[in-house]
Amino acid sequence: APTRGFFGTHQQGPRPHLEERMQACASAAPAVTVRPSPRHRIRARPQNAFLPSSGSANGARVSRSARLVVRANESWSDSTQAVHNGERGGRPRVSDSLTTPVVMTSTYWFKDTEELIAYQEGRYGSFEYGRYGNPTARACEEKIRLLEGGEDCLLSASGMNTAVCMLLSLVPAGGHIVTTTDCYRRTRQFVQTFMPKMGISCTVLDPSDYDGLEKALAEHPCALYFSESPTNPYLRCVDIERIAKLCKPSGCLVCIDGTFATPVNSRALSFGADLVIHSASKYFGGHNDVLAGCIVGNKEAVGKVRAFHNIMGGVIDPHAAYLVLRGLKTLGLRVARHNENAQKLAERLEAHPKIDRVHYPGLKSHPDHEVAVKYMKGFGGGVSFEVKGDLWATAKFIDSCKLPYIAPSLGGVESLIEQPTIVSYWDQGPEKRAAIGIKDNLVRFACGIEDYEDIEADVLQALEQIPQLE
């Protein structure tokens, strides 16, 4: 009688041995080629390694080598056979899997020396080694590349790994960087603390100081302009077209960190930027369960970053790459909700008597609102605001919130809340914090995709817990 198993209904009783069934399929199926095309040198820009192959007797599109390798080498010992049999002649390259497989390998093999030489001479495609690429990561890179409209994309282990590799590979010793005052603390720390050790200097400007940028370009050998847009935590936005026009004549590359925007809201490359980087841990992954970063844009520039990355490491785990790939499938849906929730919250907070100021580019009161309207379709899920009160009144408000988690990061389905003074700058002291514009009463709220009514109700009840200042 048939029984119900994990793979469906099957008959009980004797079944053909796996080897016999697979060999029967092999003999019934036409011969197919499963090796990658020699036209592509994957080391430089890996192509999709999941190559389709024509059918077998049971309808599964699996390579001929995958069907043949089950034959045992009976001269080997049991231990050796356990290591090699079933895989020695080649692994299946499945083309009918709906989802992209997670390829868990650290290295790639060659069938003989001739094939290895062909690879070295660019006549055969391979990743060669796990640090140089992975099929799962490559699929994710291609998806990001197309979303941003770039020529190439590199995925890596974190957003900071991406930023550091970009800075070290594109700015020469003795070069100069122009960046903005409002930015992620670790980026500023690397630029101002570590890069001077290589003789690299830096000009730090207000995001809207375009005269200062023109002056820096005239006085220094500027190799790179680098800014977030929107920035963290005040959500300032830069005029990308204007910056590109100023930088291009002197050969200064323009790189925009688009983490807070995402390509759903803004595509900096289409406005003249050479490169865009993202902390893919945020909106791309979208579920607070993965660390990743990426850089996309000009092929030559990304190629330089890739060459440096191949030396340094910082390789993304294949499963992490899959999580980013999966998250990207719902990016548009999620970002639409993030945008909607943040816009409504910003408008509600701006009218609240216990809020001193709201920082959100979707508000007309924001200093860069006109710039944001020019470059953005939506204004993102992050809202920063200043509570009327001191550090501890602000902390009481945050502690009174019941819906958002107190945590750094943004872009996930859950709402998060933080006090930058405590989360990111507690070790700096009041004077240093004031010097870089971090106020004790500043709150950053990263809207999730919850129903807006629940977010608003929770924020309003939390504000009721702090005293009204006259």
φ, ψ dihedrals at 416, nearest 5°: -125, 150
* Residue 335's pLDDT band (cuts 50, 70, 90): very high
C-alpha span between 324 and 354 (Å, rounded): 39
What are the CA-CA distances from residue 232 to residues 49, 197, 359, 362, 424 (Å)?
A: 38, 26, 11, 15, 11
For residue 40, being part of any structural domain is answered with no
Q: Which of 91, 131, 188, 348 is catalytic?
A: 131
pTM of the full structure: 0.83
* Residue 2's pLDDT band (cuts 50, 70, 90): very low
Q: Are residues 106 and 156 in the same domain?
A: yes
Q: What is the DSSP string of 320-373?
A: HHHHHHHHHTTHHHHHHHHHHHHHHHHHHHHT-TTEEEEE-TTSTTSTTHHHHH
Return the structure tokens found at 378. Answer: 């939506």
Is residue 94 over pLDDT 90?
Answer: no
pLDDT at 83: 83
Q: Are residues 287 and 172 in the same domain?
A: yes
Contact call for residues 218 and 188 (beta carbons, < 8 A): no
Q: By residue range, what is the domain housing residue 94?
A: 78-328
In 99-255, which ranges are continuous DSSP H helix?
113-120, 135-148, 159-170, 185-189, 210-219, 240-247
pLDDT at 470: 62
For residue 404, being part of any structural domain is answered with yes
The 10s digit of each residue's pLDDT in 161-206 is: 999 999 999 999 999 999 999 988 899 889 999 999 999 999 999 9
pLDDT at 310: 96
Q: Which of 175, 450, 215 has the alpha carbon at shortest distance from 338?
A: 450
pLDDT-above-90 percentage for the chain: 74
pLDDT at 469: 73
Q: Which residues contact 434 (CB under 8 A, 6 or more apart)?
A: none
Return the structure tokens found at 70. Answer: 């089950």
φ, ψ dihedrals at 27, nearest 5°: -75, -25
C-alpha span between 338 and 410 (Å, rounded): 10
Mean pLDDT of the chain: 87
Ranges 67-81, 299-313, 361-375: which has the least confidence: 67-81
For residue 470, being part of any structural domain is answered with no
Active site residue 257: yes
Is residue 25 over pLDDT 70?
Answer: no
**Rounded mean pLDDT, 396-415:** 98
Q: Are residues 236 and 104 in the same domain?
A: yes
Contact call for residues 30 and 62 (beta carbons, < 8 A): no
The 10s digit of each residue's pLDDT in 199-241 is: 999 999 999 999 999 999 999 999 999 999 999 999 999 999 9
Q: Are residues 162 and 287 in the same domain?
A: yes
C-alpha span between 378 and 200 (Å, rounded): 36
pLDDT at 71: 54
Q: Are residues 342 and 306 in the same domain?
A: no
Return the structure tokens found at 296. Answer: 């996309």
For residue 36, being part of any structural domain is answered with no
| CATH code assigned at 263 | 3.40.640.10
Which of 97-111, 184-198, 250-264 is modeled with the greatest confidence?
250-264
Q: Which of 192, 179, 266, 252 has the alpha carbon at shortest distance from 222?
A: 252
Q: Which of 304, 328, 352 is the last residue of a domain?
A: 328
Q: How many domains does the chain have?
A: 2
pLDDT at 72: 58
Q: Which of 152, 182, 239, 257 is catalytic?
A: 257
Active site residue 206: no
Active site residue 71: no
For residue 165, being part of any structural domain is answered with yes
pLDDT at 190: 94
Q: Are residues 314 and 198 in the same domain?
A: yes
* Residue 379's pLDDT band (cuts 50, 70, 90): very high
Q: Which residue has the tokens 């092929």?
A: 299
| CATH code assigned at 446 | 3.90.1150.10
Q: Which of 282, 306, 388, 439 is catalytic?
A: 282
Q: Are residues 267 and 362 in the same domain?
A: no
For residue 387, being part of any structural domain is answered with yes
Q: Which of 328, 345, 372 is the last residue of a domain?
A: 328
**Rounded mean pLDDT, 417-422:** 96
Count Cβ atoms below 10 Å from residue 15 Cβ, excluding itself. 10
For residue 377, being part of any structural domain is answered with yes
Of 6 and 398, the structure prediction assigns the larger pLDDT to 398
Q: Which of 284, 313, 328 is the last residue of a domain?
A: 328
Q: Are residues 263 and 394 in the same domain?
A: no
For residue 339, being part of any structural domain is answered with yes
pLDDT at 281: 98
Give me the residues paired with residue 254 across strands: 225
Is residue 31 over pLDDT 70?
Answer: no
C-alpha span between 167 and 170 (Å, rounded): 6
Q: Are residues 342 and 210 in the same domain?
A: no
pLDDT at 75: 85
Of 39 and 17, the structure prediction assigns the larger pLDDT to 17
pLDDT at 296: 98
For strands 222-228 and 176-180, give the pairing: parallel
C-alpha span between 64 and 470 (Å, rounded): 79
For strands 2-5 and 8-11, give the pairing: antiparallel
Q: Which of 160, 137, 141, 140 has the alpha carbon at shortest distance from 150?
A: 141
Q: Which of 119, 184, 234, 425 is catalytic?
A: 184
Q: Are residues 398 and 312 in the same domain?
A: no
Q: Are residues 446 and 391 in the same domain?
A: yes
C-alpha span between 41 and 36 (Å, rounded): 10
Q: Are residues 145 and 228 in the same domain?
A: yes
